[in-house]
Amino acid sequence: MTVVDIHAHVFPEIGRAESRGLTGSDEGPWLRTSDGPDAGMMMAGAHEYRPVRRTLWDPAARVADLDRLGVDVQVLSSTPLMFGYALPADRATDWCRTVNDRIQEYSSYAPDRLAPLCQVPLQDTGAACAVLSEAMGRGFRGVHIGNHLGDRDLDHGALLEFLAHCADEGAAVLVHPWDLPTGPRFSRYMLAWLAGMAGETHLTILTLILSGAFERLPASLRLLFAHGGGSFPYLLGRADNAWHRRDLVRADSPRPPSAYTDRFSVDSAVFDPGALRLLVDVMGAERVLLGSDHPFPLGEEEIGRLVRESGLTEDEERALLGGNAVRFFGLEDLVARRTDARTDARTDPRTGPRTEARDEAKEAVR
């Protein structure tokens, strides 16, 4: 069974001096890799942002992880710290192009295993569209964006223009929460991550629905929200109830929120079997993709275990573990190469491919 993890982060080796030169700021993101043989630190200027493992910047370490965990393909995106949305547009454009170059270089270590997503200077629609088009022409599988830009949600005209361009380019869009709520109430116990991320994603999805944005966006747009869509799937009934009972809720949306679950997908990073089963029930098995948040400390340690142990049907499990991702990101070529490599490794020179290898090859293209 083909396994594809679509939510995995990378931070290429960018030191402080290079970051300063590109961003024009002493507070820019950079990676400290001198903490130990397998330890590093994501930095924001002089501030220690998050301890990380070597897998984040070393593709050989990542592929070793994937081999150990039984993952065939991983879709890679930068860390949200690297978005650069606060930079002047010209610097942000240079920054994004540099990050994209490094992510593609990282992915080239194992091009049949690592599929890169680009990032764009979302604060400048023209530049964002140009950088996206360049990246898609170079073989990127889509784009990784934050769920808002300051006070502008994804229903803002300029951001809708960018999303429509993604549809035109055939670029899949992974939306990740970022720029989380701050203040004393969020400063303890990682509550900005534990509560803020779920709330941010919920807010973005509801805004796209209730503003009527999905009525204006092309149906061909492939939109994917991280972390199981935040709290949206679990509070969908509340949103539907409000749409039916309050005219101000339904003022710009001709259909209730539950009618739009066919317009986007979500990943499986919910870390609980009951939550995953509810997610599948709300979204449909065809719209949930395996996502681990690898290699961060809060990610799934055994990638795919939750899907395998949640009591799903065989068809649902197959779809979540890889089939949905192959279709969503257009990974048929990578899966075919991966299957060929496995088949070659299992070929008996006297009789040809062994039975299990032939079966896997058939399964990968289902």
Q: How far is CA 346 from CA 20, 107, 319, 366, in A?
A: 49, 25, 25, 21
pLDDT value, residue 154: 97
What's the CA dihedral at 207, 212, 218, 224 to 10 degrees? 20
Distance CA(346)–CA(252), nearest Å, equals 57
- Burial class of residue 220, CB neighbours in 10 A (0-12, 13-18, 19+): exposed
pLDDT value, residue 362: 47
Name the pTM for this structure. Answer: 0.92
pLDDT value, residue 341: 75
Task: Tell whether the model's pLDDT for residue 358 goes beyond 60.
Answer: no
Q: Which distant-in-sequence residues (6+ apart) come within 8 Å of 345 by Cβ?
A: 357
Task: Tell whether the model's pLDDT for residue 342 goes beyond 60.
Answer: yes
- DSSP class of residue 214 equals H
Q: pLDDT confidence of 348, banded at 50, 70, 90?
A: low
- Which of the pair, 292 or 355, is modelled with greater confidence? 292
pLDDT tens-digit profile of 309-328? 999 999 999 999 999 999 99
Q: How far is CA 162 from CA 123, 124, 222, 259, 358, in A?
A: 10, 10, 13, 24, 42
Distance CA(151)–CA(153), nearest Å, equals 6
pLDDT value, residue 347: 58
pLDDT tens-digit profile of 163-191? 999 999 999 999 999 988 889 999 999 89
What's the CA dihedral at 306, 307, 312, 315 to 10 degrees? -170
- Which of the pair, 272 or 351, is modelled with greater confidence? 272
Q: In this structure, how many other beta carbons lie within 10 angstroms of the beta carbon of residue 33?
A: 18
Confirm if 6 and 325 have CB atoms less than 8 A apart: yes
CA 58, 59, 62 angle in degrees (round to 5)? Answer: 95
Task: Tell whether the model's pLDDT for residue 346 goes beyond 80.
Answer: no
The strand pairing partners of 224, in sequence order, are 174, 265
Q: pLDDT confidence of 11, banded at 50, 70, 90?
A: very high
Mean predicted lDDT score pLDDT of the chain: 93
Q: Which of 50, 90, 89, 58 is nearest to 76 (CA)?
A: 58
Task: Tell whether the model's pLDDT for residue 361 goes beyond 70.
Answer: no
Query: What is the rounded average pLDDT of the residues 351-355?
Result: 52
pLDDT tens-digit profile of 108-122? 999 999 999 999 999
Q: pLDDT confidence of 365, banded at 50, 70, 90?
A: very low
Q: Hey, is 49 helix, strand or coil? A: strand
Distance CA(133)–CA(137), nearest Å, equals 6
Query: What is the rounded average pLDDT of the residues 128-144?
Result: 98
Q: Which of 327, 275, 355 is nearest to 73 (CA)?
A: 327
Tokens 């009527």 found at? 212
Helices (H) and strands (E) in the chain, counts: 15, 15
pLDDT value, residue 338: 82
pLDDT value, residue 349: 55
pLDDT tens-digit profile of 199-237? 999 999 999 999 999 999 999 999 999 999 999 999 999
CA 178 to chain centre: 12
pLDDT tens-digit profile of 16-70? 999 999 999 999 999 999 888 899 999 999 999 999 999 999 999 999 999 999 9
First to last CA, the chain: 10
Task: Tell whether the model's pLDDT for residue 128 goes beyond 70.
Answer: yes
Task: Tell whether the model's pLDDT for residue 124 goes beyond 70.
Answer: yes
Q: Which two tokens stand for residue 185?
A: 């109430």
Rounded CA Rg of the chain: 20
Task: Tell whether the model's pLDDT for residue 357 goes beyond 50.
Answer: no
HSE of 254, CA atoms in CB hemisphere, 13 A: 4
Cis (ω within 30 of 0) for the bond into 295?
A: yes
- Of 29-43, 64-78, 138-152, 243-257, least confident by mean pLDDT is 29-43
